Amino acid sequence: DRNSQEVVPEYEQLPVPELSKMDIRELFELASQWGVGENKERVKKAREELARRGKESLDYIFREKIGTKSGLEMRAIRAVLKENRAKARDYLLKALKDTSWIARRNVCGFIADIKLDDAEDSLIKFMERAENRKIIRSFIYALGRLKSEKAREKIEKYLGEEKEDMRITSIEALKNIGDTLSIPSLIPLLNDRFTTVRSACIDALYKFGTDITEWVESKWRNYPLILYVGGKVAGKNTGEKVDRIKNVLFTALDSKDDYTRYMAVLGLSEIKDSAVKTAFQLRVWKEKQPVIRDVMKRYLGL
C-alpha cells in the first residue's frame, strides 16, 4: 500500500541480554554505555532494570560510584535516582558528608536534578563549611535549582567573590530563586569587568520583569546598562511601570555621556513604539557616535 508508511529503524538493535540474571556491577556497566545507534535499546533497558532494583542499585552506587567523573555513569545514576526519589533521600543527605569533594559535587547535582527540597538545610550548612571554591559553587548551584529563599542572603555574599565563575554561579542561583530582594545586590554586577558576568546579570534582572522599574529610575546614572535591561522588559510588557521605564529611557537618550546614551538607544530599540520611532528620527543624523547612530538606523530601516 503506497499510502502506508513502514517505520524502519535507523540501526538494527543489538539483542538485549537477560538483565535479571546480571549482577549489579555488570548491569551498571551496561547501563553506563553510550546509548545510541544499535546500542540504544540495550542501554535503555539496562537503566530501567537498574532503577527497578531500587535499594540494591542505590547501595552499589553510593558505595562504588558516587565519586565518578564519568558523564555516562552519571546518566545511569540519575536514571536510578529519578525512579527511586524517596529511597534515595537518605543516601544523598549522608553523601553530602563524603570526604571526596567530587562525590559531594555530584551529590549536589543529583539533588538539583531530582528537586530534593528536603536537602535545603543540609546544603546551606555544608556550603558554609565547605573547604574549597569548587564545592561551594556546587552547593550554590543546587540551592538555586531548589529555589531556596532561605539561602538567598548567604548566596548574595558570593557576588563579591574574586573569581568570575563564582560570581556567575551566584547570579544564576539568585535568578532561579527569583526573590526581588536580590535586585539591589545584583545591580552592581552590571558594571563588572567581565562580559560574562554582566551578561548573566542582565538575564537575572530581566527575569524580574517590571519589578526592576524603581531600580531603573534610581540607578541608571551609575549603572547605565540597566537602561538596556529596562528596555528589554518594556518591550515585553505593558502598563504603568512600563511607561515609567520608557520615560527614563527617553531622558537618558539626551545624556552627554556616550555610553549612557548608547544603553538608552539599545533599550529603546527593544520597544516597538511610534514614540521611539519619532525620537530616533529626530536624533539619528545629529548623533555623532557611529555605533549609536547605527542602532537607530537599523531600527528605522535606513
Q: Are the C-beta atoms of 111 and 119 separated by less than 8 Å?
A: yes
Q: What is the band of 270 on the pLDDT scale with cuts at 50, 70, 90? A: very high
3-state secondary structure of 275: helix
Confidence of residue 129 (pLDDT cuts 50, 70, 90): confident
CB atoms within 10 A of CB 233: 25
For the cut 70, the answer to whether the pLDDT of residue 7 exceeds it is no
Is 174 strand, coil or helix? helix
Q: 162: number of CA atoms within 13 Å, CB side? A: 1
- Look at residue 38 in the predicted model and tell me its pLDDT: 79
Residue 38 CB partners (closer than 8 Å, separation 6+): 11, 12, 13, 14
- Please check the confidence at residue 210 and state whether its pLDDT lies above 60: yes
Lowest average pLDDT, out of 11-15, 148-152, 176-180, 268-272, goes to 11-15
Nearest in space to 84 (alpha carbons), one of 41, 123, 47: 47
- Read off the pTM: 0.89
C-alpha to C-alpha distances, 112 to 58, 132, 168, 173, 195, nearest whole angstrom: 17, 20, 18, 12, 27
Q: Cα Rg for the chain, rounded, in angstroms? A: 26
Does 168 have pLDDT greater than 80? yes
Rounded Cα distance, 229 and 202, in Å: 6
Confidence (pLDDT) at 35: 73
The single-letter code of the amino acid at 287 is E
Q: How confident is the model at residue 12 (pLDDT cuts 50, 70, 90)?
A: confident
Cβ–Cβ < 8 Å for 228, 251: no
pLDDT at residue 213 tops 70? yes
**Interval 47-68: pLDDT, tens:** 999 999 999 999 999 999 999 9
Q: How confident is the model at residue 119 (pLDDT cuts 50, 70, 90)?
A: very high
Alpha carbon 145 to its chain's center? 8
- Burial letters for 185-199: b for 16+ Cβ neighbours within 10 Å, e otherwise? bbbebbebeeeebbe
Alpha helices in 114-194 (DSSP H): 120-129, 133-145, 152-156, 164-177, 183-186
Q: Which amino acid is at 284?
A: V
Answer for the pair 89, 55: CB distance below 8 angstroms, yes or no: no
Residue range 226-250, pLDDT digits in tens: 999 999 999 999 999 999 999 999 9
Whole-number Å distance between alpha carbons of 147 and 285: 48
Q: Residue 3: its pLDDT value, please?
A: 54
In the CATH hierarchy, which fold is given to the domain comprising 92-104+114-207?
Leucine-rich Repeat Variant (1.25.10)
pLDDT category, 41, cuts 50, 70, 90?
confident
CATH 1.25.10.10 boundaries in the chain: 92-104+114-207
- Summarised one tens digit per residue, pLDDT across range 135-167 is 999 999 999 999 999 999 999 999 999 999 999
Q: What is the mean pLDDT of residues 116-128?
A: 94
Going by pLDDT thresholds of 50, 70 and 90, the confidence category of residue 9 is low
Task: Please state, rounded to an integer, the average pLDDT across all residues of the chain.
Answer: 94
Closest to 18 measured CA to CA, from 55, 45, 53, 52: 45
Residue 6: its pLDDT value, please?
56
∠ CA 174-160-183, rounded to 5°: 35
